[in-house]
Amino acid sequence: MRANRKLWAAATVCVAVVAGVTGCSKGDDKPADPFAGLTADAIADKSVETTKAATAFRMHGKGKTDGEEMTVDFSVDNKGNCKGSMKVPAGGSAEIIGTGGTSYMKGDDAFWKSTGGEEGASSDESGAMSELLKGRWMKMPSEKGAEASGPDAFCDLEQIVKDMDEETPRKGLTREADADVDGTPAAVLSKKDKGGTTTFYVAKDSAKPYILRVVTTGGDDPGTVDLSDFDKPVTVTAPPADQTVDMEELMKAAS
């Protein structure tokens, strides 16, 4: 399972889902453009800084990483709470929650069989892990920063926005025709380079110009990710102890 930088950059999380261009019929008054007079690069700077300041958001999308497609949908806040789900190329899926410095993951049978055990584990070993975790949550201490993996890759808001800051293009952008993202008018900014084309959609809101969507086409890691529910607290309840398996216990069983 990959860390956040891949999630943001590529799945920076499918092939482009481009919103339809909005328009007005003749005679309609167009609302004032909150970005009038700003270059595309300046709009990008403003949107990144605004999104970085959010105390919470939902991030959902689909993308390819190393040629394999993964779908994620999760919410995270700056108090260490997160919850969501993911689907992996082999067809399995898993729920993810994090709270109080601990992360939990509960996968279906296909998920554990395809991801369980150490690299090179036999089908019998992966099957044993799947049986041990059936209907239960795998519990593990949270890790922070760029090296976090597993559920922690989805639960560290600080690292997610850091990766966003580093990966979102902010120089040499072109402003395209405005569009609509789930009912919200958006300015559309794009940049082409040897790695493909990155297009992102910024809410046309002078006070809170959040990034609403990022689309990457071409290159090795195409994907689309949508952001929503900004500053909405994430409520998480840890599962009961009798429904969890501690990671240390799991590692002993695997050995």
- The DSSP result for 101-159, as a single string, is TEEEEEE-HHHHHHH-SSTT--HHHHHHHHHHHTTSEEEEE---STT--TTHHHH-HHH
pLDDT at 63: 86
Question: Rounded to a whole number, what is the largest CA-CA distance in the chain?
Answer: 73
Predicted TM-score (pTM) of the model is 0.78
Average pLDDT, integer, range 97-116: 84
pLDDT at 64: 76
Lowest-pLDDT choice from 19-23, 87-91, 113-117:
19-23
CB burial of residue 63 (10 Å; 0-12, 13-18, 19+):
buried
Nearest CA to 179 among 200, 158, 207, 163? Answer: 200
- Please give the domain boundaries of the chain with CATH numbers for all domains: 4-19+37-254 (2.50.20.20)
SS3 166: helix
Q: Are 210 and 56 in contact (CB under 8 A)?
A: no
Give the model confidence (pLDDT) of 28-65 as tens digits. 566 789 999 999 999 999 999 999 999 999 999 998 76
